[in-house]
Amino acid sequence: MNTNGIASNPAFGKIFDELFNRSISDIIGTDFTTESPSVNIIETDESFEIEVAAPGLTKKDFDISLIKDHLIISADRKTEAGESAPTFKRKEYDYKKFSRKFRLPNTVDKESVKAKYDLGILRVTVDKTPEAKEKGPRTIEIN
């Protein structure tokens, strides 16, 4: 038997369901969108790879630039005149416009930046300089 009566109160159960079984956009009645997409940064012996999760965009929506030691990835999806937007029952992502800035270490070759967009993921690869690449163990001879 519950001594405080909360668990047996049907009104509490309804409030609990409303708060924890719905998205924030359902509760406040507006679309809840993230300002910028999630990013993974992967370092290998040869390079750095930045993965940007940006579903629903196309290659032409992105702008990738290099300013001094900063890599800037931005997107701006413009709707065409007369283009009708679908009616969503629920919408959890919508990247119409965003910008992410990454400071590159001085161990990268800034001329080697490559980008590929496939299946909603933008992958930007920046190779390391030859001096920065992992060369593996080396045996030192003793004189």
**Distance from C-alpha of 52 to C-alpha of 64, rounded to nearest angstrom:** 12
Structure tokens at 43: 């370092």
Most confident of 15-24, 98-107, 126-135: 98-107
Domain spans of the chain? Answer: 1-32, 34-78+92-133
Q: Which fold has domain 34-78+92-133?
A: Immunoglobulin-like (2.60.40)
Kindly state the percentage of the chain with pLDDT values over 90.
42
Taking only the tens place, the pLDDT of each residue in 31-54 is: 334 468 899 999 998 999 999 999
pLDDT, position 103:
93
What is the DSSP code string of 46-74? SEEEEEEE-TT--GGGEEEEEETTEEEEE
Q: Which of 16-30, 79-93, 104-118, 125-139 has the lowest mean pLDDT?
A: 16-30
Q: Which two tokens stand for residue 110?
A: 């800034």
Q: What angle do CA 56, 62, 68 make, to 5 degrees?
A: 145
Token duo for residue 52: 């940007």
Instruction: Compute the half-sphere exposure of residue 68: CA atoms within 13 Å on the CB side of its CA.
Output: 2
pLDDT of residue 89: 82
* Mean pLDDT within 61-90: 83
pTM (global) more than 0.85: no
